[in-house]
């Protein structure tokens, strides 16, 4: 992956390789940005065009949000890189506790 040190023994080659790796990663990030904008546009249009029922729109836009957040986490926040085992553990533990909280508040609590 792009964040790994490469040692070919020739510093010139190493720098050239790293520069290319960084540029390549930047391209991936631009692609994920384009996809994120695209997903946002779809979500807003799904609400703007009033033809769909809430039963379809709500799960659909939540799914779009989840996909967009995965792009944000794995590309913008580099979770796809090596050495992110502990961050994954921390984040997913948080997600687990958060999901249980939301489930409880939306199902077994009422006013």
Q: Does position 10 bind other proteins by CB under 8 A?
A: no
Decide: is 51 part of the binding site for other proteins (CB under 8 A): no
7 is written with which tokens?
Answer: 């040692």
E strands in 36-110: none
Q: Is 47 in the site for other proteins (CB under 8 A)?
A: yes
Does the footprint of other proteins cover residue 31 (CB under 8 A)? no
Rounded distance between C-alpha atoms, residue 33 and residue 12, angstroms: 32
108 sits in which H/E element: none
Assign 3-class secondary structure to 41-57.
Answer: HHHHHHHHCCCCCHHHH
Single residue of 13, 31, 42, 58 touching other proteins by CB under 8 A: 58
Q: Which member of 31, 38, 42, 83 binds other proteins (CB under 8 A)?
A: 83
CA dihedral 74, 76, 78, 80 (to 10 degrees): 30
Q: Which residues bind other proteins (CB under 8 A)?
A: 2-6, 11, 15, 18-19, 22, 25-26, 29-30, 33, 36-37, 40, 43-44, 46-48, 54, 57-58, 61-62, 64-65, 68-69, 72-73, 76-77, 83, 86-87, 90-91, 93-95, 97-99, 101-102, 104-106, 109-111
């Amino acid at each position: 992956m792009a964040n790994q040190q490469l040692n070919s023994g020739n510093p010139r080659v190493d720098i050239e390789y790293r520069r290319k790796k960084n540029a390549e990663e930047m391209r991936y990030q631009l692609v994920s940005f384009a996809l994120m904008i695209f997903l946002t546009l779809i979500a807003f249009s799904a609400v703007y065009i009033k033809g769909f029922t809430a039963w379809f729109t709500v799960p659909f836009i939540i799914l779009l949000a989840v996909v967009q957040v995965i792009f944000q986490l794995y590309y913008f926040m580099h979770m796809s890189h090596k050495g992110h085992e502990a961050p994954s553990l921390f984040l997913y533990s948080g997600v687990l506790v958060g999901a249980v909280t939301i489930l409880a508040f939306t199902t077994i609590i009422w006013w």
